[in-house]
Amino acid sequence: MDALRAVIVALSLLGVAIIYSDIVEDEANTFPNQESEPTPSTNINEEAELSGELLTGESGSFESPNYPTANHKLDYVWLIEVEPTKAIRLVLIDFDTETGFDYIIVHDGDNTEDPVLLVHSGNTVPPPTRSTRHKMLVRFVTNNKGTSRGFHANYFAVPPCFNAIQSSSGLIASPSFPFSYDSNMRCEWLITVGNSERVLLEFFDVNTEKDYDVIQIYDGDNDRAPFLQRISGDHRNEVVFQVSTSNVVLVSFTTDESISETGFAAKFTAGNHADLMQYFMEEYPDFLKDLEVDKETEGEKNVGQKIKTTISDAIMLYEGGVKSSNITYKE
């Protein structure tokens, strides 16, 4: 498990096919409304001075006008454009505004009618935000009072968060794994294996904001296919399994605007998987190195065979053949 995790970490840091996906967010994510403080609106502030600038290139930085000095009656926009095959990752480094009155709005596109990725106000730095396309509009609106310093931000061109995979085995991981993933994100992995095969998914190191940042698995090529499993929360001390009933499976990962954890890594394998049975060691996850375990397979199928293994997180028996290299049958 440690070796596999190390491979995924290395690939992620090198930017190699650890397969990211699209974000789809149709509604604005707003902060809690407080009494006597108006909720930020995405409507143009007619009293403010409206101006802006275009940012291009693979990466760059920008800040509120006159940062770190306060600005009054301001409505300023930045249009970020990268090459058409990329998406945009926005990272706010410093953020200090008058709560409820001065705010930033991030749109997934080049105008204020496009979906809102982030609405934020106050003096906390929000998690990074990722677009689904090669354009992002950042808008900063202030009122006529206050002494807050504004914000400073960096942006980067990144691979789009979607990948269609046709392979008999491989690895997938949340963006930036094992570091924190971005907020307001929807990533998808469409995995296809041979026509007569099924897909075994093994999720490990799962750590997401419980109930808000969610992995969902569908038994088909879209999110209208039969639903298989929902995974959320801290599962770092266990391996979560799922077997498809067809040769295509869709894995989606959706996050909200608040807490970001480390995400997940997963391995997928093609095979004729039927009636998956799992046997976990009594000491799991603190098993002893080189411990050998013999266990009768007395499940519902009564296969009547013994399994011998060494230091395995889980022993998996499939109808139609053994899929793990450290499992052997004894006559």
pLDDT in tens, 76-104: 999 999 999 899 999 999 999 999 899 99
Residues with Cβ within 8 Å of 139's Cβ and at least 6 positions away in sequence, in order, are: 42, 75, 76, 77, 78, 104, 105, 106, 107, 112
More confident residue, 138 or 317: 138
Mean pLDDT over all residues of the chain? 75
84 contacts 134 by C-beta, under 8 angstroms: yes
Of 51, 38, 55, nearest to 101 by C-alpha is 38
The pLDDT tens digits of the residues spanning 31-48 come to: 333 333 444 444 444 444
d(C-alpha 180, C-alpha 125), whole Å = 14
The pLDDT tens digits of the residues spanning 98-156 come to: 998 999 999 999 999 999 999 999 999 988 888 988 999 999 999 878 788 999 999 99
More confident residue, 311 or 211: 211
Q: What is the pLDDT at residue 1?
A: 56
Q: For the domain bounded by 49-158, which CATH number is listed?
A: 2.60.120.290
Same fold for the pair 2-21+161-271 and 49-158? yes
Q: What is the pLDDT at residue 143?
A: 85
Beta bridge partners of 215: 231, 253
Structural domain boundaries in the chain: 2-21+161-271, 49-158, 277-330
Q: Which superfamily does CATH assign the domain made up of 2-21+161-271 to? A: Spermadhesin, CUB domain (2.60.120.290)
> Which of 71-75, 83-87, 237-241, 294-298 shows the lowest per-residue confidence on average (mean pLDDT)?
294-298
Q: In angstroms, what CA-CA distances link 76 with 26, 203, 228, 252?
A: 23, 43, 45, 35
The pLDDT tens digits of the residues spanning 266-279 come to: 999 998 754 344 43
Q: What is the pLDDT at residue 3?
A: 56
Rounded to the nearest 5 degrees, what angle is found at the Cα of 10, between the Cα atoms of 255 and 194? 75
Q: Terminal CA-to-CA distance of the chain, rounded, Å?
A: 29
